[in-house]
A and B are shown apart, each in its own frame.
Chain A
Amino acid sequence: MDAHQLIVCRCEEVSLAELMETAEAYPCSARELKLRTRAGMGCCGGRTCRVLVDQVIEKVTGQTPSHSVPLGYQPPVRPLSFQLMGGRNK
């Protein structure tokens, strides 16, 4: 399979190849891989690719998942309107 064409994070358009190359160049945590590539940092908040980013790290570094959740969660866990965050309608 041509890894370059395979998009893993749709929101930020990060390919599998980019994730694999980054994980190989910087043996790092899932969080660092996320920050380096922006995978999981788009508008969906990583709801689709979070597990895949974890799996890339598992595959490349051989780290097995621990009991703590690898990629942390921060509120808000759903996309919100500015209005809800205190904006006003005209």
Chain B
Amino acid sequence: MIDALIIGAGPAGLSAAIACAKQDLSVVVIDEFYRAGGRLLGQLHQEPDGTWWNGIEEALRLDREARALGVDIRCGVSVYDVSRTPGGWNVSTTAGKMETPLLLIATGASETAVPVPGWTLPGVMSIGAAQVMTNVQRVRVGERGVVIGVNILSVAIARELQLAGIQIDRMILPPASSITGNAGLPEEVMRALLRVAHLAPSPLLRWGSRFMHSHWMQSLAVRLYPSRGFPMWDIPIQLRTAALEIVGKAQVEGVRIAQITPDGQPIFGTEQLIPADFVCIAGGLSPLAELAAIAGCPFAYVPSLGGHVPIHNDQMQTALPGLFVAGNITGVESAKVAMAQGKVAGLSMAHARGALTDLSPLTDAIRDVKAVRQRATIQFHPDIDDGRALVEKLALAP
């Protein structure tokens, strides 16, 4: 009989496995990808202090440490159902059913789709798919690409593609429609981008930071934004240009674009067709909470955390007995925060099994999550702290 089953071998799941295996719990980790690491596998970026964050190395390090502690990691296994039993949880997987007293759901986040006319053509992919093909599978996604959707994730991944020698022609906005929300509005995109100004030495951000001070000045910045865009790592970022349609007969051949007004409307007479053989669509991330929903977890809708998240306390416990959550399922943040949360969840599970006599490591780990969040170079949303506070308050409510 195992003590804990962890769904997801990403930064949160592996860190949790390590933390509870260190307290002598018997742990199994399952993941539907063919190798452990989750989203870490795609990550490669330079920190503001000049050091490189190499996600593949981080994933290998966690994987080795967990296995050395006796953690049983099973890749290529999908979970399709979870249900409560008198003594814990029954988990249905493509490799059979498993019983466990404690269950940690660390399934991370999934990408949000942004429909653009022509997005069903071969050669159109999500930006995350391009990242995995480039950094994990080492497959060249194309010769010349256009990224539709400008946000912190897409800018970081465009840089990774560029490092791999793949040309990104430009980054533009999706067409403003009833379901593109803020992603098609230059002013909103600009505001979100300026928050990560410290991440890239770029003329855009030096120019834009002068307009940071007030809402009125930000509107002015968008009106003055040059149509050719500003380069970030030599990739033109065109906030006043939108994709109208992805065109091609049997696969992507180009993108029909137009300049747009500050509120996202195409400007008549500015249309042009630019050649491309692949297109990446970037709509951001939202917590992948389907298993927590099936388990019967109460949820909270918190836009700053990426959408609906299972309610949990600071020890990563949900309202359901023996059910824990950690990582991006609890809100979209960086891998370092996910690792810190995983450690908390692992120690909490050890505590629940009676294996943790001294509670100070758990208290320290909870404090560490907040410290890591404060230091995080990539803040996905300015109101993350408020969002976290709301979820904790809901967890305490009777």
Contacts and interface: CB of A to CB of B under 8 A. Distances in A.
Contacts of A76: 80-81, 92
B117 A73 contact: no
A80 interface: yes
A77 B301 contact: no
Contacts, number: 81
Which size class do B's interface residues fall under?
35 or more
Interface in B282-310: 286, 289-291, 293-294, 298-301, 307-308
Given A51-B113, A59-B178, A80-B94, A69 B78 contact: no
Interface string A40-82: 0000000111011001100110000111110011111110100
A75 B81 contact: yes
A75 B244 contact: no
B120 interface: yes
Interface string B178-200: 11010000000000000000000
A16 B293 contact: no
Chain A binding surface, main DSSP class: loop
Interface in B253-295: 286, 289-291, 293-294
A80 B179 CA distance: 31
A55 B289 CA distance: 18
Interface residues of A, number: 33
Nearest to A55: B179
B203 interface: no
A72 B94 contact: no
B112 interface: yes
Interface in B239-261: 244-245
A51 B286 contact: yes
B110 interface: yes
Interface of B: 32, 78-81, 92, 94, 110, 112-113, 115-117, 119-120, 175, 177-179, 181, 244-245, 286, 289-291, 293-294, 298-301, 307-308, 394
17 contacts: A6-B115, A8-B179, A10-B120, A51-B112, A56-B178, A59-B178, A60-B178, A68-B299, A73-B290, A75-B81, A75-B92, A76-B80, A77-B81, A77-B291, A78-B79, A80-B80, A80-B94
Interface of A: 1-3, 5-8, 10, 16, 20, 47-49, 51-52, 55-56, 59-60, 65-69, 72-78, 80, 84
